A and B are shown apart, each in its own frame.
Chain A
Amino acid sequence: MIESLFIPGGILAIFLASAVTYSLRLGGLLLAGILPDRGPVRRFLDALPGTILISLVVPAGLQSGLAGMIGLGACLLAYISTKNLMVTMAAGVLMVCLLRQVFGM
């Protein structure tokens, strides 16, 4: 049964990859807990959410080109006026979808 469901080495690969990933997730949290709660380290940790988010979003936004830039404008406008993430998401997706399908951007 197991032989037909898993490729040889498959269980080991999934186990090791999962153990590594879980260790990174929990390890980061525990490491931050033992670091000093003031000074440069604190400033580093406090800035981290913003800098990670920016690092995720800017390259992805640039990759979606001009349509993405216009879509981004639509999102920010939607978010500032409604503060609703669902509306923001819909505004961005509809705008980019329209630009891609109708204008071939």
Chain B
Amino acid sequence: MKESLRRGALANLPLVVSAMAYGSVLGVLSGQQGVTWAEMLAMNIFLFAGSAQFVMVDMWSAPLPVAEIVTAVLIINLRYLLIGASLQPVFKGYGLGAKAAMMHMVADENWAVTMAEHRTRGTDPYFLLGGGLLMGTGWCGCTIVGNILGGFVVDPEKYALDFAFVAVFAALSLSLWRGRADLLAWGVAALLAVLGNWLLPGKWYIIIGGLGGATCAALYPAFPKTRQAVSAKLAESVESAETVSND
């Protein structure tokens, strides 16, 4: 367990740098918006979701539009429903307690790193948690420092740190590639995501791309393993039918 935690944290190091740069931007913004360090800390600990926190800070002025804020956060974080569902193989064999305790620390970054690790070497929820704890610590530290000190800020785009996550996620997608049969699902996902990003507000594009692509995979079982399983089953049923008719 400890070993998994450590490995998970280390695997997320390439991503924590850019998260921290964005954290510092959010921290400074939050200070300018009049968000107190306690409010920022509470969001970091209890919400722990970068893009949702950006929107929340933006809407943070009296009288606080609570219902609008919660609705916006719901829409932005709807992708976590899909992300949570995709983590099922990682949590296989773990009880409700472990799931409830560890799912809070799921961000896009440690999720992606964990899924790639799971496909290539196999992993467990502690790997996910280790990454989450590292991301959470870096994120929390930078937002709070930015909130209190104001001035200090790293411009992520100047140093291309906004590109860090694209770089790492593109590499991780190579590990998730299961072969040519993924082409249709991934093509549809990419197309829908690009269209969604162009036409729809917020984070809808991730949900539409993810759902649409996976639906294609569900409808067209072109994946070789599935096809093999289907033909094996067919052969089996033909065989048993033959034995029945022979009797």
Contact = CB atoms under 8 A, between A and B. Distances in A.
Contact of B190 (A16, A32, A54, A88): A54
A30 B83 CA distance: 12
Interface string B66-80: 100110011001111
A28 interface: yes
Contacts of A11: 42
A48 interface: yes
Main secondary structure of the interface of B (DSSP, over half): helix
A13 interface: yes
Q: Which of A12, A31, A46 has the most CB of B within 10 A?
A: A46
Contacts of B165: 60
Contact of A14 (B46, B163, B197): B46
Nearest to A86: B14
A54 to B, nearest CB: 5
Q: What is the size category of the interface that chain A forms with chain B?
A: 35 or more
A88 B86 contact: no
A57 B218 contact: no
Q: Which of A10, A45, A48, A49 has the most CB of B within 10 A?
A: A49
A48 B85 contact: yes
A63 B157 CA distance: 12
A46 B185 CA distance: 11
B152 to A, nearest CB: 20
Main secondary structure of the interface of A (DSSP, over half): helix
A24 B214 contact: no
A18 B160 contact: no
A20 B48 CA distance: 12
A16 B221 CA distance: 40
Interface string A1-32: 00011111111111111101110111111111
Q: What is the size category of the interface that chain B forms with chain A?
A: 35 or more
Interface in A39-75: 40-41, 43-64, 68, 71-72, 75
Contacts of B177: 50
A57 to B, nearest CB: 4
Contacts of A59: 193-194, 196-197, 205
Contacts of B231: none
B108 A56 contact: yes
Interface in B8-52: 11, 13-15, 17, 34, 36-39, 42-43, 46-49, 52
Given A8-B62, A28-B85, A29-B87, A57 B169 contact: yes
Q: Which of A30, A46, A53, A72 has the most CB of B within 10 A?
A: A53
Interface of B: 11, 13-15, 17, 34, 36-39, 42-43, 46-49, 52, 56, 60, 62-64, 66, 69-70, 73-74, 77-88, 91, 96, 99-100, 103-104, 106, 108, 112-113, 115, 119, 157-174, 176-178, 182, 185-186, 188-190, 192-194, 196-197, 205-206, 208-219, 221, 223, 226
10 contacts: A9-B63, A17-B43, A24-B74, A24-B80, A26-B100, A40-B221, A52-B79, A71-B167, A78-B171, A96-B160
Given A29-B103, A50-B185, A93-B163, 7 more contacts: A10-B39, A52-B82, A53-B176, A56-B169, A59-B194, A88-B171, A89-B164
- List the 4 shortest-distance A-B pairs measured between CB atoms, nearest first: A28-B84, A55-B209, A92-B167, A51-B213
